[in-house]
Amino acid sequence: MVHPILAINRVLWGALLVSSVLFPTALAMVIREPAEPPNPVLLPVFAAIGVALLIMSRILPGQLMRQAIAGQRVKVQHTADPHAAMANYRGAAPTRRVIADRESALLIALRAQQTATIIALALSEGVGLLGFALGMALGFGLLQVAPFFAVSTLSMLTWFPTQSRAVRALERATGASLA
C-alpha cells in the first residue's frame, strides 16, 4: 500500500507533468506570426536562464532534503551486525547504526521528499515557462521553443516520487539504516 504522503506527492507530480504538456499545446493553438522578427539575443539569454534553472532543480532538492532530515531528531541506535563475522572473539561484536523508530523516520523522509519534489518540479516547470514566454510574448516559433518544453518535461519525469528515494536520502542524512 502506498503511504498517503507519497500518494499526494505523486498526484502533484502528475498534475505538474500534465501542465508541462499543456504549455506547448496552448502555444501551438494561439501562436501567430509576429509583426516584426523577435530579438535574436533573447533566445540564448533565455536558454542560459533555463540551464541555470535546470542545474538548480538538480542541486537544491537534495540539499533541502538533507537539511530537513538533519533538523529532525531521528533516533539512531547501535545494534549487532548480523552480517559481520566476529573478527576477534575477545573484542566487542561489530555493530551497525539503525534507525530506532522506523515509522516516524519514514514520515520525516516522505515529508522532506514532498518539499524537495515540489521545488524540483517548480524549477523544472520554469524551463517550460521560459519557452512559453518566448513563444507567446516574444514571437519565437514553436520549433525554436520546443527544446524548452522537452527539457522541462524530461526533467519532471525524473522526479517521480518513490519511497526508496526518500529512504535513501534519510539513510544518507542520518548515516543509519532504516531496515
Q: Which residues contact 171 (CB under 8 A, 6 or more apart)?
A: 99, 177, 178
| Stated pTM of the model | 0.86
Q: pLDDT, tens digit, for every residue of 24-52?
A: 999 999 887 777 888 999 999 999 999 99
Give me 22's grid cell: 499543456
Q: pLDDT, tens digit, for every residue of 57-113?
A: 999 999 999 999 988 888 888 777 666 665 555 556 677 888 888 899 999 999 999
